[in-house]
């Protein structure tokens, strides 16, 4: 189980760390006993210590279905493990990062406000760089092996940055496009055909304003696709490294593309929607006829909620779309680390993953592969894949890896510089 290198490394340091920590405990006996020595490999001890703990789970709260799912998870963790899970609803994950950094600045090393954070990408890399995360712990979880990280390396990679066991997978998502099949017979399946289509049908498309996650995602998607068309360079290497001085040259096609299509967008690009949800409701109201979301279940769940018409269909671009895994991490100053680990492990269990996968209202895919579910569960999953509006698994297999997190920052900065100040 797990990475043998990390295990050996951890075991070696444990021999030195243990006596030192014991000394600290004796000297500062007033601090919480469960702080300093958390033995991630001793799972029975962790479960025992987790019982009775209160875990503050900082996760984006803008999705009521996800909030409801987490309420169910909380009820289960309480009844099964005696852990009180509290979902702290964030408007934006980066606010959790800010808070953590502020706590660190103020010297708060033991009573942090978050025990578990849902994050990925730049948020994770920022915290990992600043050494604000507890770990490694993820691969020591009993359920980690279900993820089959050797076969699916993206379980250990977060936007190209190695997780090194500092975060545990929870959900995965992929960019999909969707459209109203009553108004659009053949949607554009490449960036070029998107541009052609927009010229002939102005006002039928738009995207959320960066730095909203979905808007930046479109920028990355278009950039990768346009760069692949223009140059013959090694796209993978180019984008898994941070951008360097060639950023302007590399991103030039993207800005040229946007300059061309902006006048043909909804509201002539004088105002962008704030989120994917607003984009969806614009499609539903027939303001636009093409939209996109970072969730394969988007159309199915929206149809079931009555938020999209049953005639809506979803698809993936010909050359693939961006896909990533999102994780949960534990801050260094979390008071309830054991509880947090127990919760993360529970999130990886087939039961929770299946409940999420079959929840028509949720917007994500499970991180457990098909084989981990029981035959009954597999039958249900297959049935769901055939629902109207669902993306076919063959299309979903066309995945593009996320670029290095720094690309996000640079792209957002440049977009804001060019378009953020208004015309």
Contact footprint for other proteins (CB under 8 A): 56, 58, 61-62, 64, 67-68, 71, 88-92, 94-95, 97-99, 101-103, 105-106, 108, 111, 113, 123, 126, 203, 209, 212, 266-267, 270-282, 284-287, 305-307, 309, 416-423
**Least distance (Å) from other proteins to the CB of residue 39?**
28
Give the H/E segment covering residue 401.
Answer: strand 399-401
Q: CB-wise, 46 or 175, nearer to other proteins? A: 175
**Least distance (Å) from other proteins to the CB of residue 213?**
11
Q: CB-wise, 317 or 415, nearer to other proteins? A: 415
Q: CB-wise, 87 or 172, nearer to other proteins? A: 87
Q: Under a CB-based contact definition with an 8 Å cutoff, are residues 39 and 46 in contact?
A: yes
**Least distance (Å) from other proteins to the CB of residue 346?**
21
Q: Under a CB-based contact definition with an 8 Å cutoff, are residues 348 and 367 in contact?
A: yes
d(CA 102, CA 398): 40
**Least distance (Å) from other proteins to the CB of residue 147?**
28
Mind giving me the DSSP string for 202-243? Answer: TTS---PPTTSHHHHHHHHHHHHHHHHHH--S-HHHHHHSPP
Q: CB-wise, 115 or 139, nearer to other proteins? A: 115
Q: Is 332 left (phi over 0), alpha (psi -120 to 50) or beta?
A: alpha
**Structural tokens at position 349:** 């269990």
Q: CB-wise, 21 or 101, nearer to other proteins? A: 101
**Least distance (Å) from other proteins to the CB of residue 405?**
12
**Structural tokens at position 278:** 């607003």
d(CA 398, CA 198): 24
**Least distance (Å) from other proteins to the CB of residue 423?**
8
Q: CB-wise, 309 or 381, nearer to other proteins? A: 309
Q: Under a CB-based contact definition with an 8 Å cutoff, are residues 58 and 123 in contact?
A: no
Q: Between helices 247-261 and 213-230, what is the axis angle to 10°?
A: 110
d(CA 103, CA 49): 25
């Amino acid at each position: 189980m797990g990475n043998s290198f990390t295990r050996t490394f951890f075991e070696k340091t444990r021999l030195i760390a243990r006596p030192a920590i014991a000394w600290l405990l004796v000297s500062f006996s007033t601090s919480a006993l469960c702080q300093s020595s958390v033995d991630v490999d001793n799972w029975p001890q962790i479960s025992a210590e987790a019982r009775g703990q209160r875990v503050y789970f900082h996760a984006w709260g803008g999705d009521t279905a996800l909030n409801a799912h987490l309420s169910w998870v909380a009820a289960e963790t309480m009844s099964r493990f005696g852990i009180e899970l509290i979902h702290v609803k964030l408007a934006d994950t980066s606010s959790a990062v800010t808070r953590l950094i502020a706590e660190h600045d103020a010297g708060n090393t033991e009573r942090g406000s978050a025990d578990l954070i849902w994050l990925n990408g730049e948020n994770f890399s920022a915290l990992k760089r600043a050494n604000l995360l507890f770990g490694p712990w993820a691969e020591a979880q009993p359920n980690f092996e279900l993820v089959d990280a050797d076969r699916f390396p993206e379980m250990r990679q977060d936007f190209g940055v190695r997780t090194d066991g500092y975060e545990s997978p929870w959900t995965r998502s992929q960019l999909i496009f969707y459209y109203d099949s009553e108004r659009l017979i053949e949607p554009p399946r490449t960036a070029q055909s998107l541009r052609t289509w927009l010229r002939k049908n102005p006002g039928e498309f738009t995207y959320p304003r960066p730095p909203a996650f979905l808007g930046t995602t479109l920028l990355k998607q278009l950039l990768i696709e346009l760069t692949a068309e223009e140059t013959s360079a090694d796209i993978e290497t180019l984008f898994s490294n941070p951008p360097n001085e060639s950023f302007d040259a590399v991103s030039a096609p993207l800005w040229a593309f946007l300059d061309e299509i902006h006048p043909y967008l909804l509201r002539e690009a004088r105002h962008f929607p704030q989120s994917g949800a607003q984009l969806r409701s614009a499609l539903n109201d027939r303001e636009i006829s093409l939209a996109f979301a970072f969730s394969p279940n988007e159309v199915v769940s929206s149809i079931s909620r009555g938020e999209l018409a049953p005639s809506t269909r979803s698809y993936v671009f010909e050359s693939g779309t961006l896909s990533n895994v999102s994780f949960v991490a534990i801050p260094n100053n979390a008071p309830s680390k054991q509880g947090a680990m127990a919760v993360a492990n529970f999130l990886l269990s087939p039961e929770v993953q299946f409940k999420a996968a079959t929840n028509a209202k949720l917007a994500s895919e499970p991180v457990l592969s098909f084989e981990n579910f029981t035959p009954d569960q597999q039958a249900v999953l297959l049935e769901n894949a055939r629902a109207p509006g669902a993306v076919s698994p063959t299309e979903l297999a066309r995945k593009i890896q996320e670029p290095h997190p720094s690309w996000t920052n640079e792209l957002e900065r440049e977009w804001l510089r060019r378009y953020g100040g208004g015309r």
